[in-house]
A and B are shown apart, each in its own frame.
Chain A
């Protein structure tokens, strides 16, 4: 069974608009961490934002925020004021038993294209 599901293979957004990238996850572990990564065409993986399962507030990092709905098991990434440089693949990932020695499990990704 898929542990991380990203249902949007591709998304388009107008420059300066906000966009939401969907991510749902599946785990029975009460302690887990959720991550979003950006992969531009150059190929590197860039960490964007992290949410712990026990965190009371939604994580924010600059123009990135994570809409964490625990009961629905969703962890959507919101990018505000999109820029052309935001065009990239975006991956949602989860770590169960939220400690450093369990591997990240990645979704298949969403390709975001920002239009001028």
Chain B
């Protein structure tokens, strides 16, 4: 899974600050998902993006959270005015576009960004 690059690996923010998490998908992948993992929990879907489009954001909190995947550059998950409850691991996953054989298989996850809000 080294092909999906997430940075930073660890991020500490004070309450009220902004957090920006970056994800560069594997070469050839144009679709990314963001997931959140709370301590001792499984991953929960947040948002699905392709280049310049948000396809599904049904898992995103309505306030303070936003995501983008510009034509050039990484996908960004942005959390404004962070609170302690935002402390979690945030994972990005990428995969081949639907319809290609490889998309039947497992998504490729990045190593995650561990956000700690103090």
Residue numbers in B under 8 Å from A108 (CB-CB): 40-42
Q: Pick 10 A–B contacts, CB within 8 A, sort by A.
A: A45-B112, A47-B105, A52-B104, A100-B98, A100-B100, A100-B103, A101-B48, A106-B35, A108-B41, A108-B42
Interface residue ranges of B30-49 to A (CB < 8 Å): 31, 33, 35, 40-45, 48
Number of B residues with CB within 8 Å of any CB on chain A: 34
| Among B43, B95, B100, contact of A106 (Cβ-Cβ < 8 Å) | B43
Are A44 and B1 in touch, CB under 8 angstroms?
yes
Rounded to whole angstroms, the CA-CA distance of A87 and B103 in the bound complex is 28
Tell me if A91 and B43 are in contact (CB < 8 A).
Answer: yes
A98 close to chain B: CB less than 8 A: yes
CB distance from A40 to the nearest CB of B (A): 11
A104, B107: Cβ atoms closer than 8 Å: yes
Residues of A contacting B59 in the complex (Cβ-Cβ under 8 angstroms): 103
Chain B CB within 8 A of A115 CB = no
Which chain A residues border B69 with CB–CB below 8 Å? none
How near does chain A come to B99, taking the closest CB pair, in angstroms? 8
Chain B interface (Cβ within 8 Å of chain A)?
1, 31, 33, 35, 40-45, 48, 55-56, 59, 89, 91, 93, 95-100, 103-112, 114
A99 to B41 CA separation, bound complex (whole angstroms) = 25
Cβ of A98 to closest chain B Cβ, rounded Å: 7
Residues of A within 8 A of B (CB): 4, 33, 35, 37, 42-48, 50, 52, 91, 93, 98-101, 103-109
**Alpha-carbon distance A101/B110, docked complex (angstroms):** 18
Asked if B112 and A99 sit within 8 Å, CB to CB, the answer is: no
A44 touches B112 (CB 8 A): yes
A104 to B40, CA, bound (A): 18
CB distance from A112 to the nearest CB of B (A): 15
Q: Give chain B nearest CB distance to A76 CB in angstroms.
A: 17
Q: Is the CB of A100 within 8 A of B106?
A: no
A98 and B106 CA atoms in complex are apart in Å by: 12
In this complex, the member of A37, A43, A45, A91 whose beta carbon has the largest number of chain B beta carbons within 10 angstroms is: A45
